């Protein structure tokens, strides 16, 4: 078929979007060339870092996969997942083209899949996220979370809510909300996706909007935009607008 999304429109009871039986993709996997309107130079200049001439162009990529550890039943499993997001100053040879920021997010959780009222996939578990830096550049937090999501059909959506156990940065919760919402809409012209959060107490938020045109059953052209705080951990207290274009892997 010409578009990967056509079967989704014709058959709304396809398999769930997250696989609890095999190693598979978990969050989105992509690589983009991006431009940001306001790179977070101050985070490094305060440290007297050699990265004092950052470029607005960066390569942004994310890899993410999950694995079942133990299946309790056909619809319930103990799972593990790993997601890594990086910002790479690829064209900045003046400072040796460094990886400016990498976020590492391992997690373990219990997943259950069945036809519920509004959702067909729920998770409850623990996730750690850090950027592997030291001193004032270090960012990390540990969270317990629950997620309720709906996969299959032309519209998919979900909500993730969490409780912070520990954080290395005391004001992180002043910027991130304790939840994130996401949605995907499948059409014959492509897939539109969005995710975001808004901290009502402190009037801070962040939103991502994307569009994917799949040219085969595996890969697609991906356009992504992000506006607000918290795109990565180093930018949790920094607002910017980023646009990027690249390649996205179909969730497998």
Is there a contact between 125 and 144 (Cβ–Cβ < 8 Å)?
yes
| Residue 135 annotated to the active site | no
Active-site position among 24, 130, 152, 239:
130
The 3-class SS string of 63-96 reads EEEEEEEEEEECCEEEEEEEEEEEEECCCCHHHC
Is there a contact between 234 and 137 (Cβ–Cβ < 8 Å)?
yes
1, two tokens = 């078929």
| Residue 74 annotated to the active site | no
C-alpha of 226 from chain center: 11
86 in a known ligand binding site: no
Active-site position among 49, 97, 128, 152:
128
How many C-alpha atoms does 217 have within 13 Å on its Cβ side? 4
64 in a known ligand binding site: no
Binding residues, by number, are 96, 138
Catalytic residues: 128, 130
Annotated binding-site members for Ca(2+): 96, 138
């Amino acid at each position: 078929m010409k578009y990967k999304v056509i079967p989704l429109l014709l058959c709304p009871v396809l398999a769930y979007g997250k696989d609890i039986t095999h190693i598979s993709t978990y969050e989105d996997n992509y690589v983009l060339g991006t431009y940001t309107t306001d790179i977070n130079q101050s985070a490094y200049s305060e440290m007297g870092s050699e990265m004092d001439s950052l470029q607005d162009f960066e390569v942004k990529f994310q890899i993410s996969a999950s694995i079942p550890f133990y299946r309790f039943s056909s619809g319930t499993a103990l799972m593990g997942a790993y997601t890594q997001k990086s910002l790479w100053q690829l064209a900045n040879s003046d400072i040796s083209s460094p990886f400016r920021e990498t976020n590492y997010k391992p997690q373990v959780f219990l997943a259950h899949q069945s036809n519920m009222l509004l959702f067909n996939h729920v998770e409850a578990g623990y996730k750690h996220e850090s950027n592997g830096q030291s001193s004032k550049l270090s960012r990390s937090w540990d969270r317990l979370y629950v997620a309720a999501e709906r996969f299959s059909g032309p519209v998919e959506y979900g909500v993730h809510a969490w409780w912070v156990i520990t954080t290395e940065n005391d004001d992180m919760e002043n910027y991130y909300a304790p939840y994130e919402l996401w949605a995907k809409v499948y059409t014959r012209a492509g897939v539109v996706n969005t995710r975001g959060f808004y901290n009502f107490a402190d009037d801070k938020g962040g939103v991502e909007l994307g569009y994917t045109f799949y040219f085969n059953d595996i890969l697609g052209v991906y356009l992504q935009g992000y506006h607000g705080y918290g795109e990565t951990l180093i930018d949790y207290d920094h607002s910017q607008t980023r646009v990027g274009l690249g390649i996205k892997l179909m969730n497998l």
